[in-house]
Amino acid sequence: HTNPHQGNFVRTIENAIQFGNPVLLENVPESLDPILESILLKQIVISGGVATIRLGDATIEYDKNFRLYITTKLRNPHYPPELCVKVNLLNFMATADGLQDQMLGRVVAMEQRELELQRQQLIVEDAENQRQLKEIEDKILFLLKNAKGNILDDEVLIDTLGDSKKTSNIIQDKVKIAEQTQARIAKVRMGYVPVAFQASQLFFCIADLASVDPMYQYSLDWYISLYETSIEAADKAKVLDDRLRNLNDCFTYMLYRNVCRSLFEKDKLLFSFLLTTKIMLGQKALDSAEVRFFLQGSTSMDLAEPNPFSWLSDRAWNDILALDHMPAFKGFKDEYKVDGKKWEAVMESNTPAMLVNEMVGDKYDTFKKLCILRCVRPDVVVPSVQNFIAEAMGVKFIEPPQFDMKECFGDSKCTTPLIFVLTPGAAPMNELSKLAEDMGFGSKLLAISLGQGQGPIAENAIQDAADKGTWVCLQNCHLSISWMPQLEKICEEFSEDTLHPNFRLWLTSEPSPSFPAFVLQNGVKMTMEPAKGMRANLLGSLQQVDDAQFDTCARRNEFKKMLFGLCFFHASVRERRKFGPLGWNIQYVFSPPDLRISMDQLRIFLNDLKPSDPIPFAALAYLVGECNYGGRVTDDKDRRCIMNILDDFYTPKVLDETYKFSDSGTYFAPPPGTLENFREYVRSLPFHEGPEVFGLHDNANISCAISETNALLDTALSLQPRSLGGEGKSWGETLDDLAKDISSRLPPMFDIEKALIMFPVRYDESMNTVLTQELIRFNRLIEEVTITLTDVQKAIKGLVLMSMELEQMGNSMVIGKVPALWASVAYPSLKPLGPWVTDLLDRITFLNDWMTKGTSPNVFWVSGFFFTQAFITGTLQNFARKYATPIDKAEFDFRVLTRSEMKVAVDQKPKDGAYMRGLFLEGARWDFDHHFITESLPRELFIAMPFIHLEPKMRADVPVVEGVPEQYTGSVNGTAHVYMCPVYKTSFRQGTLSTTGHSTNFVMFIRVPMAKEHKQKHWIKRGVAMLTQLDS
């Protein structure tokens, strides 16, 4: 056998072809080496009576006994049709029934060893008996065929018939005894079926995890080995039912512990949930339709009934209507309408799960209550899922075991690589060095950081360590992708016969799809993540400081205060990431070296000062905010944010004992003392900080919780089997219905020629060009949607091939997601399929109305544009051409309209510029009475903004924004007291720079009035922005 990564694989195949040997080509990717083409096509040429075939540049003799077998370990490979017709494809994936039978054999062999041996003996005996009967049968037939004359005179034949009768009777007696024994054995085996069933089900639970992260790969051999270990470890019991329960409990928890240590924190609850639902579905304690609803919600395009309450979102009402279709929830929507006041209290409550529990009582079980919460309060689903798991499986399944490197080492052998799966900022070498010291390998651990040219050095080190029984650690495998096949080959050749028993190979890598599957499946995986939370972050940062450095600075007191401020800044910028786009547009990785260099610079600067010199706060802030940390920040809005956050810590105020880092007063720089005093203060801080410490509104917690819920449910949904869609329909039926429904709603494409006649290119009206360009873009999208919907309907009927793209499109549609085929030619949007289609139709209607009226609307729906920047540029261009001024001397001023002005705007265009509607404010709300932005109301995540007047003026006439240039907030001499509010197309906020020079997400800054007591910094830290559309 060979594999494509081995250098001599062609030579191996060449020899096999000549000598007629079979070849097993293992672990092939989705594309085969072109050199195999002639073999797959069997391009055999008879030359001089000898069969030959061309392989590469050589022509070799072909032996007809040659066979080529090819295997892959890819979970769901897609081979092109042209390859499929050249080979016979066989699916050797483990099936649930096959695996159950295998597991049953294992458990019975270990539990009832004698019975299993007896069963195997019976199988052998049965085969032998069958062989004897066949021999007798063949002999009689032979004699009958060759008998001459009267058969009755043939003594040999008569004697043979007599012997066969006796033998047959003896065998029949044996068969009867065997059948009785088989029945007894089968009865005992049947008793263990529940254990085998659960074990086979749970294997598919972990097999699916590879689609969550490429590093989550586990082999069946490893799984069976763990299964057998758990059978030995489970508590004994005299009653079979008790023993079965012990076996199941022991294996399930052992599997949870072993898999958990190789999962990132974000996926541990997901795994617990998958385990729980898999077991309960197997026990028929859960309805699969209810599980799918819980993960997916409603996929309906429209509201079947109008929403009866103003405080209830359409999305929540749609989910309630879908829930009402379930047999167990019949009549739920009517109950909801009747108890509207109580349900409104649930929407406002801080303990909604408890209120729902009181309201519905025992009518619904815990999972059904989860389904209700999923509809009305998605922000509390994650803690409710934890409670559900604790109730069904026990608290230990929501308390992941603490990381124990010694235990992981104990589970390894010399042939087992140990793999640290890292997140940025994690540093396993300290822990590994400590373990090496404890195990007496302190001087026998060699660490090699992989990179260009390090491969041969690593190979020699592994060979040397394998002979001497030392340890090797290869760091950052993800940076040496080209060498990974060689690493796989080395690990495949590991054998206990050739390796020193003390040898260990340690590997560190960030998640990478190129990491060898063989190493992952056969190694011991451990995840390493930096600690979460402000308290843990601060303690970790203070661990980097030693007492000598802490007390030897020339300006000791100032250094200690500013050092603590720097550590707090480091923790703040790292922990802001959990709030998603409210924290940072892009998820930056701020690492310990960023903090270390900033600490060193702080010490150097302060040591160089004379006692009377002022501290250069501006220079220090520049180094930290623009270089050390700012060097990672690529988004200008994030750069503005980081400089404003830093201003809270690198400020003269930090030296004042009364200065607090946040409004709560809990967080401050403690009085200069010893390093241990600082650590004691940090240990006294809360384990879980609120959003206020980051300058965010309390509502940020809700946004964070909803994101967590969506991530959990979406990932779990992607791992569900696709056999059933909604309401018991098959995948194909559900997809076909959806495709027909969407097709029936789509309008015909726009008549571009007619539009160009009605709206010709005019010097004084740039909006004509904006409109025609929008129509072209929407036509492209309508065409793509129409063609792919037609193709997928044909593919379901078998009229055309179901390509990988169409299959992926179907999978997305069935779970209510927008297909990638459509998204690639559409505008940015995070909406699910139903709202996305509705939004598309609304946009088309907006453009249709514009065309029908023959003139641009009085108020533009800014959300309806495909390319919003074209509308903005067009508005500015109209102004510049009207007043014959260069466009680069014109600039926008903005005015948010009052209620009375909005009524006028509907019927009358402005003198200059344009009115626009459709923007939503996130992180704050608009105060109509005082005409400025103010704090959000509790649980109010977004509010619709009033109309805004895009008012072009000459640049000299637009007042300068007041602010601090270093913080990117304006000019010290500015007079406009406004917040420069960024506008994005979606709540994701992150975009890429397109070829037009515009971001794919960021639109523009809008000046928004704010209260006198507020500065821009307040709203910047709040993450306040406007969006052109919501996510639902």
Give the CATH number for residue 560. 1.10.8.720
Whole-angstrom distance, CA of residue 249 vs CA of residue 237:
13
> Please, are residues 253 and 235 in contact by the beta-carbon 8 Å criterion?
no
> Please, are residues 503 and 470 in contact by the beta-carbon 8 Å criterion?
yes
Whole-angstrom distance, CA of residue 432 vs CA of residue 774:
59
Q: Are residues 770 and 847 in the same domain?
A: yes
Q: What is the pLDDT of residue 108?
A: 86
Q: Are residues 226 and 165 in the same domain?
A: no
The per-residue pLDDT for range 780-815, each reduced to its tens digit, is 999 999 999 999 999 999 898 888 889 999 999 998
**Exposure of 901 by Cβ count < 10 A (0-12 exposed, 13-18 middle, 19+ buried)?**
middle
Hey, what are 653's tokens?
Answer: 């105020």
Q: Are residues 323 and 343 in the same domain?
A: yes
Element (H, E) at 1011: none
Q: Are residues 610 and 671 in the same domain?
A: yes
**Exposure of 663 by Cβ count < 10 A (0-12 exposed, 13-18 middle, 19+ buried)?**
exposed
Phi/psi of residue 1002, nearest 5 degrees:
-70, 135
Pairing of strands 67-70, 859-861: unpaired
| Domain range for 735 | 729-856
Q: What is the pLDDT of residue 725?
A: 42
Whole-angstrom distance, CA of residue 124 vs CA of residue 901:
94
**Angle CA 565–570–573, to nearest 5:** 120
| Structural domain includes residue 507 | yes
For 865-1023, where are the alpha helices, taking DSSP H only?
868-882, 899-907, 1016-1022
Exposure on the CB side of residue 1026, measured as CA atoms within 13 A: 26
Hey, what are 381's tokens?
Answer: 């689903």
Closest by alpha carbon to 722, among 804, 805, 814, 796?
A: 814
**Exposure of 262 by Cβ count < 10 A (0-12 exposed, 13-18 middle, 19+ buried)?**
buried
- In Å, how far from its chain's centre is CA 552? 47
Q: Are residues 421 and 464 in the same domain?
A: yes
Whole-angstrom distance, CA of residue 817 vs CA of residue 734:
14
Whole-angstrom distance, CA of residue 734 vs CA of residue 299:
10
725-728 long-range contacts (CB < 8 A, ≥24 apart) are 725/814, 726/289, 726/292, 726/293, 726/299, 726/322, 727/289, 727/325, 728/289
Phi/psi of residue 187, nearest 5 degrees:
-65, -45
Hey, what are 544's tokens?
Answer: 């980097």
Q: Are residues 262 and 297 in the same domain?
A: no
For 297-444, where are the alpha helices, taking DSSP H only?
314-324, 332-338, 340-348, 352-360, 366-376, 381-393, 405-410, 429-438
Q: Are residues 389 and 412 in the same domain?
A: no
> What pTM did the predictor assign?
0.86
Whole-angstrom distance, CA of residue 432 vs CA of residue 39:
49
Hey, what are 58's tokens?
Answer: 């050589």
Q: Are residues 364 and 380 in the same domain?
A: yes
- Domain termination residue (choose one: 458, 493, 528): 528
**Angle CA 885–890–891, to nearest 5:** 170
Closest by alpha carbon to 275, among 217, 342, 206?
A: 206
**Angle CA 499–500–504, to nearest 5:** 85
Whole-angstrom distance, CA of residue 295 vs CA of residue 163:
69
Whole-angstrom distance, CA of residue 128 vs CA of residue 577:
69
Whole-angstrom distance, CA of residue 90 vs CA of residue 955:
71
Give the CATH number for residue 68. 3.40.50.300
| Structural domain includes residue 571 | yes
Q: Are residues 789 and 773 in the same domain?
A: yes
Q: What is the pLDDT of residue 728?
A: 62
Phi/psi of residue 892, nearest 5 degrees:
-85, 135
- Domain termination residue (choose one: 809, 833, 856): 856
12-18 long-range contacts (CB < 8 A, ≥24 apart) are 13/39, 13/55, 13/68, 14/55, 14/58, 14/60, 16/66, 17/53, 17/55, 17/60, 17/61, 17/62, 17/63, 17/66, 18/60, 18/61, 18/62, 18/63
For 544-581, where are the alpha helices, taking DSSP H only?
547-551, 556-575
Q: Are residues 312 and 436 in the same domain?
A: no
Q: What is the pLDDT of residue 722?
A: 66
Query: In the 3-class helix/strand/coil scheme, how is 80-137 assigned residue by residue?
Result: CHHHHCCCCCCCCCCCHHHHHHHHHHHHHHHHCHHHHHHHHHHHHHHHHHHHHHHHHH
Whole-angstrom distance, CA of residue 425 vs CA of residue 589:
7
Hey, what are 356's tokens?
Answer: 């729902």
Element (H, E) at 281: helix 265-282
Q: What is the pLDDT of residue 291?
A: 93
Which residues contact residue 756 at a Cβ distance below 8 angstroms, ignoring those fewer than 6 apart? 772
| Structural domain includes residue 702 | no
Whole-angstrom distance, CA of residue 137 vs CA of residue 379:
75
Q: What is the pLDDT of residue 723?
A: 57
Give the CATH number for residue 786. 1.20.1270
Give the CATH number for residue 892. 3.10.490.20
Which residues contact residue 394 at a Cβ distance below 8 angstroms, ignoring those fewer than 6 apart? none
Phi-psi region of 726 (alpha: psi -120 to 50; beta: other; left: phi over 0): beta
> Please, are residues 941 and 702 in contact by the beta-carbon 8 Å criterion?
yes
**Angle CA 560–563–567, to nearest 5:** 140
Hey, what are 945's tokens?
Answer: 């903004």
Overall size of the chain counted in residues = 1032
Q: What are the CA-CA distances from residue 383 to residues 455, 719, 883 (Å)?
A: 46, 21, 60
Q: Are residues 894 and 839 in the same domain?
A: no
Which residues contact residue 365 at a Cβ distance below 8 angstroms, ignoring those fewer than 6 apart? none
Number of structural domains the chain divides into: 8
- Domain termination residue (choose one: 191, 207, 229): 191
| Structural domain includes residue 18 | yes
Q: Are residues 1027 and 878 in the same domain?
A: yes
Element (H, E) at 24: strand 22-25
| Structural domain includes residue 704 | no
Give the CATH number for residue 252. 1.10.8.1220
Number of Cβ atoms within 10 Å of the Cβ of 602: 23
Q: What is the pLDDT of residue 121?
A: 83
Closest by alpha carbon to 813, among 319, 296, 78?
A: 296
Whole-angstrom distance, CA of residue 206 vs CA of residue 254:
13
- Amino acid in position 423: T
Whole-angstrom distance, CA of residue 240 vs CA of residue 278:
23
Crossing angle for the helix pair 265-282 and 699-718, to the nearest 10 degrees:
50
Q: What is the pLDDT of residue 1003?
A: 94
| Structural domain includes residue 721 | no
pLDDT mean values, one per 10 residues, the chain (1032 residues): 75 91 87 88 88 89 92 79 85 85 88 79 82 82 76 75 80 79 82 92 90 90 91 90 92 94 92 94 91 89 88 92 92 91 91 91 91 94 94 92 86 91 82 90 90 89 93 92 89 89 94 89 88 88 84 88 95 94 93 91 92 92 95 94 96 93 91 91 91 94 92 89 60 91 94 93 92 96 96 92 88 92 95 93 96 93 94 95 93 95 94 96 95 94 95 94 94 94 95 78 95 95 96 86
Q: What is the pLDDT of residue 724?
A: 46
| Structural domain includes residue 723 | no
| Structural domain includes residue 536 | no
